[in-house]
């Protein structure tokens, strides 16, 4: 099979867009591995910033054509956050929560965005909602650099105690 094998992705026939299979796999694979291997935020090199800006521009175009394209929104939100554009990432995460209100990971990501923008009370509420919906990656939550500002807040300490009880039950 060719490296440039194309996938047809469309919500209807008029709103079609193409992404190469290789690019989709590279992007999605990088997101999964990055979440587990980078416990602290690192400064991007000029080349990484440039590459990220190109990817952001591309994903913005995809989202403009189809604002409800979940995978593109997730990648765009992550890219905004990695680039330090926390307010833009927050807007994307709020949009994702509206599109997928019952998914715990969308609420977790929203909590991270609230934390990065200094909205601690909203971050705690979103984090509690994520746990209520079934978010259970407590190890990552305890070392996620996006949630650093929350860790000293009394509501987070209560949530952590609740998580310990949940972990003990399972």
- pTM for this prediction: 0.74
Q: What pLDDT is attached to residue 74?
A: 95
Dist CA 64 CA 59 (whole Å) = 8
pLDDT digit string, tens, across residues 112-167: 999 999 999 999 999 999 999 999 888 899 899 999 989 989 999 999 888 888 87
Query: Residue 39 domain-assigned?
Result: no
Query: Residue 158 domain-assigned?
Result: yes
Query: Residue 36 domain-assigned?
Result: no
pLDDT digit string, tens, across residues 8-45: 333 333 333 334 334 444 555 544 444 444 345 678 89
Query: Residue 99 domain-assigned?
Result: yes
Query: Residue 22 domain-assigned?
Result: no
- Number of structural domains in the chain: 1
Query: Residue 12 domain-assigned?
Result: no
CATH code for the domain in which residue 104 is found: 1.25.40.10
Tell me the DSSP string of 95-154: HHHHH-TT-HHHHHHHHHHHHHTT-HHHHHHHHHHHHHHT---HHHHHH-GGGGGGTTSH
Query: Residue 159 domain-assigned?
Result: yes
- For 91, the domain range is 45-169
Query: Residue 108 domain-assigned?
Result: yes
Angle at 160 between CA 149 and CA 120, to 5 degrees: 30
pLDDT digit string, tens, across residues 84-112: 999 999 999 999 999 999 999 999 999 99
């Amino acid at each position: 099979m060719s490296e440039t094998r194309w996938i047809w992705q469309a919500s209807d026939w008029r709103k079609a867009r193409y992404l190469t299979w290789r690019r989709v796999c590279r992007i999605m694979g990088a997101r999964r591995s990055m979440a587990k291997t980078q416990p602290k935020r690192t400064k991007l090199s000029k080349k990484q910033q440039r590459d990220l800006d190109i990817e952001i521009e591309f994903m913005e175009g995809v989202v403009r054509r189809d604002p409800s394209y979940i995978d593109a929104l997730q990648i765009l939100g992550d890219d905004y956050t990695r680039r330090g554009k926390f307010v833009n990432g927050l807007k994307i995460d709020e949009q994702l929560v509206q599109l997928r209100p019952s998914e715990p990971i969308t609420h977790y990501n929203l909590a991270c965005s609230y934390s990065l923008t200094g909205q601690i009370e909203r971050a705690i509420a979103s984090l509690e909602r994520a746990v209520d919906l079934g978010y259970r990656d407590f190890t990552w939550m305890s070392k996620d650099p996006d949630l650093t500002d929350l860790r000293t807040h009394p509501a987070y300490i209560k949530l952590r105690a609740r998580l310990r009880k949940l972990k003990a039950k399972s």
